[in-house]
Amino acid sequence: MKIYIDGEYYEKDQARISVFDHGLLYGDGVFEGIRIYGGRVFKLNEHILRLFASAKAILLDIPMSPSLMSETVLEAVRVNNKADGYIRVVVTRGRGDLGIDPAKCPKPTVIIIVDDITLYPAEMYERGIAVVTAASRRLAIDGLDPRIKSLNYLNNILAKIEAKQAGCLEAVLLNPQGYVSECTADNIFIIKGGVLYTPATIEGALDGITRETVLELAAGLSLPCKVCALSRYDLYNADECFLTGSGAELMPVVSVDGRRIGRGTPGDLTLKLLAGFRRLAAETAG
């Protein structure tokens, strides 16, 4: 594995950044997680545009253009000869001092990692997973806009710990008003009465690339979609439920807080959307 750092490639064991990098010291930076299918990068343009939008929102000036960043990502995939896998693009504020002042960081750090990722066991896509509601609440939107895909993930990590302690792989985060926002690393959808629902970004949900892809797939199936506020009551009484994300792709959920969803197995419409997503990934690879 060769890791890109600021214009150079390093072997995994030799890849280093400064201990004074503000990405390490304060989580000051942004990132994207992107999939590779058949040697082709899935939704690269959308991911790069979101990366630059996140950076702009925190006044982080990425030291290359979006087009050059896209070319660099593709180059990193070629250098690593990766046909199927996962790309992590990270831009930190860069090296500074022990104060939080971003002005003390003259040059951002750009890192591109091309590797594998497996968030869930393969058999779970056929059986579905159980999730729980975390006691930890999603950060309020007036404190940190959820559309910023930042390196500040402690909120998500604490919820992930709660999920693991409950014997689950994933947890649902509620916003300060008690509405569903998202899971620790995925967007969440439900289906009720033949309508697809997902929380709005204003409720604390990331504007996910896979989320948007699923909404497009649903439109192709003439499945009505509503982006709106959802409560735990809505989750508990859903006919179907699933999660989406670049790492997870599309994962069926069969139980929320011990309440069985539908038949307790992945729902028919969920499986249709999963099949549609896999076809789209295969077309990308083709």
Query: Which of 167, 148, 154 is CA-nearest to residue 51?
Result: 148
Is there a contact between 87 and 41 (Cβ–Cβ < 8 Å)?
yes
* pLDDT tens by residue, 98-137: 999 999 999 999 999 999 988 888 899 999 999 999 999 9
* Residue written as token pair 């000051």: 28
Query: Which of 51, 57, 202, 227 is CA-nearest to residue 141?
Result: 202
pTM of the full predicted structure? 0.95
Is there a contact between 199 and 190 (Cβ–Cβ < 8 Å)?
no
Q: Which residue has the higher pLDDT, 209 or 122?
A: 209
* pLDDT tens by residue, 44-61: 999 999 999 999 999 999
Is there a contact between 193 and 258 (Cβ–Cβ < 8 Å)?
no
Instruction: Report residue 286's pLDDT band, with 50, 70 and 90 as the boundaries.
Output: low
DSSP 8-state symbol, 220: H
User: What pLDDT, on the 0 to 100 scale, is given for residue 117?
Assistant: 86
- Alpha-carbon distance of 182 to 187, in angstroms, equals 5
Structural domains of the chain ordered from first start:
2-115 (3.30.470.10), 124-285 (3.20.10.10)
Q: Mean pLDDT across the chain, nearest whole number?
A: 96
pLDDT surpassing 90 at residue 285? no
In the set 56, 149, 160, 164, the catalytic residue is 149
Q: What's the whole-number mean pLDDT along residues 241-255?
A: 96
Calculate what percentage of the chain has a pLDDT beyond 70.
100
Query: Which of 238, 236, 191, 237 is CA-nearest to residue 218?
Result: 191
User: What pLDDT, on the 0 to 100 scale, is given for residue 121?
Assistant: 87
pLDDT surpassing 70 at residue 64? yes
Give the HSE-up count for residue 91: Cα atoms under 13 Å, Cβ half-sphere: 25
Q: What's the whole-number mean pLDDT along residues 12-38?
A: 97
User: What pLDDT, on the 0 to 100 scale, is given for residue 183?
Assistant: 97
* End-to-end Cα distance, the chain: 25
Torsion of CA 62, 45, 142, 237, to 10 degrees: -150
User: What pLDDT, on the 0 to 100 scale, is given for residue 284?
Assistant: 86
Is there a contact between 185 and 89 (Cβ–Cβ < 8 Å)?
no
Instruction: Report residue 251's pLDDT band, with 50, 70 and 90 as the boundaries.
Output: very high
* pLDDT tens by residue, 216-225: 999 999 999 9
* Catalytic status, residue 149: yes
CA 169 to chain centre: 15
Q: CB under 8 Å to 164, separation ≥6 — which residues?
A: none
Calculate what percentage of the chain has a pLDDT beyond 90.
96
